[in-house]
Structure 1
């Protein structure tokens, strides 16, 4: 299995996204998906403390709580076999990245996850009101305390990532090992032009989110009416264009040739990209999982990769 950056975290080349848990997937369904994911060889689960505060009746932490109840049901052996990645800075009760907030948010996540350590703890969004030195020192303290194994970055500008790395090196803080960017076949920039060089230079393992473009790359949204009432309609709308639909058509043709679903090809393309360790994709129901897991068994030809590259390059920024 690939390793996340310079860390000791060996992971299956697909991360199961936990953003649906407690939102569009109830606890029982979420547990079924997690069970099937592990049974098929998966071991890397991604979540965040804010998931899913946006849903009616939720307050944040629902996804972590469901993952925690699943981990607890499986005992120590299950926990030892799973790499848990979660993120902080956006939970309504722990907003921002001050030192006190980092410490409190971590403890709250540990309690919800029913575990004694977070394998990969990432800053979800930048907090420019707090000096980076303060945030990094707080994260480093969590590593030294054994509460966190590795540190990651998500949604920071390339300039701020370079500042983070320079400060960590200067102060002897734990270096980040992972970068979680927005990246998929219909959203290739700015990752490829601005973030990939940073990831390569500093050995950051890339775990892209929205790998399937909120479902757009599965082919189920061919017209605006198709997603008008979908839970992710606002997100899908950002990908919808004639050029984007041309990408879906190209993915469909290649999927047909391999006798797999469109999601499988979209993920296989990401898995073939330099620096990408494990794309993140979620399964709202059990039936969506096989197409995600199948990506690891698909090897795209040079011609297929070239077709996807050329078609997706035409999508406007």
Structure 2
């Protein structure tokens, strides 16, 4: 387990993404994935109120409901570190105090819990003052409905301003962030990482496997039947195929999966506490749960890809 900086939370080295629950993973598969994850040492689960409103006939909240029903039947809520988010659900857009309060209450109901361990601002809301947003989060923390808060998809400037505002007013402060970062998406290293380091914040990267491209299931000339296949088109380039070759070699040398190697690189990067990855079935989950350590030379070779 990893001690999450600025908190008393202990988290597993992989955060299980809940974006597929109720979407590409039905209730049965979702619960099987959740149970296997926890049964094999995982304890950190990430979702959002808006998952999966993009699905046909969906309105959002599907993922939270599945997790909530599963949690209630288990009866061991305190053993799970649960993260969810506010701001991007169609009927709960933004970070106004009223919206944060309402969204939190609705998430608590769907998750069938009386507290959220890590509550994210899912995106910035320039229409609402930073003070109003942080006062709303602080009130939820004081009431015990939220333990810690975090930010996702913020610019470095807005994140820093939020931190300074919290400290000046003596309010609860963001302890972590969640942003797009993987071996093929490296903008984070120059845009947000300096601010994260300066403030000792932890990063939980999403799309850690580049929408599935870094699992190795995409190969030159091979057609993949996946709802995410369009999202990886930009990765199917000379750079992408060469990176997969390096991952293949390292996976063979470590007798592990391509996914595990890609996540190992991410896990070893400064500020990263644990990568987020999702699985719609047990086969995928078993591939991403493997934890390996790469040498300095191996990490550098991947970084220079």
Which band: TM-score by shorter chain?
over 0.9
Q: Please name the residue that 2:290 is paired with.
A: 294
Deviation at 1:2, TM superposition (A): 1.4
Q: How does 1:181-192 map to 2 (within 5 A)?
A: 181-189=179-187, 191-192=188-189
1:240 to 228, 236, 248: 236
Deviation at 1:115, TM superposition (A): 0.1
Deviation at 1:224, TM superposition (A): 7.3
Spell out, residue by residue over 1:115-162, the C-alpha distance to the aligned partner (whole angstroms, 9 max, x if none). 000000000011111111111111111101110000000000001001
Q: Please name the residue that 1:196 is paired with.
A: 193
The answer as to whether partners of 2:265 and 2:294 remain within 8 angstroms in 1 is yes
Q: Please name the residue that 1:307 is paired with.
A: 301
Q: Please name the residue that 1:284 is paired with.
A: 280
Give the TM-score, by structure 2 length.
Answer: 0.97
Unmatched runs of 5 consecutive residues or more in structure 1: 312-317
Q: Please name the residue that 1:145 is paired with.
A: 143
RMSD of aligned Cα (Å): 1.2
The answer as to whether partners of 2:18 and 2:278 remain within 8 angstroms in 1 is yes
Spell out, residue by residue over 1:197-241, the C-alpha distance to the aligned partner (whole angstroms, 9 max, x if none). 1111111111100000010001111247624x5211232123332
Deviation at 1:195, TM superposition (A): 1.2
Q: Please name the residue that 2:28 is paired with.
A: 28
The answer as to whether partners of 1:90 and 1:124 remain within 8 angstroms in 2 is yes
Residues 194 and 251 from structure 1, CA distance in 2 versus in 1: closer, same or farther, beyond 3 angstroms? same
2:167 to 150, 166, 169: 169
Residues 142 and 253 from structure 1, CA distance in 2 versus in 1: closer, same or farther, beyond 3 angstroms? same
Secondary structure at the aligned position of 2:16 is classed as: strand
Stretch moving more, 139-148 or 234-243: 234-243
Is 1:218 the equivalent of 2:215?
Answer: yes
In 1, the alpha carbon distance for the partners of 2:251 and 2:237 equals: 21
Spell out, residue by residue over 1:227-275, the C-alpha distance to the aligned partner (whole angstroms, 9 max, x if none). 4x52112321233321122111111110011111100100111111111
Give the TM-score, by structure 1 length.
Answer: 0.94
Unmatched runs of 5 consecutive residues or more in structure 2: none
In 1, the alpha carbon distance for the partners of 2:102 and 2:22 equals: 22
In 2, the alpha carbon distance for the partners of 1:219 and 1:30 equals: 22
Secondary structure at the aligned position of 2:113 is classed as: coil
1:270 to 241, 266, 281: 266
The answer as to whether partners of 1:140 and 1:173 remain within 8 angstroms in 2 is yes
Secondary structure at the aligned position of 2:253 is classed as: helix
The answer as to whether partners of 1:11 and 1:44 remain within 8 angstroms in 2 is yes
In 2, the alpha carbon distance for the partners of 1:232 and 1:86 equals: 22
**How many aligned positions are there?**
305
Stretch moving more, 234-243 or 10-19: 234-243
Secondary structure at the aligned position of 1:238 is classed as: helix
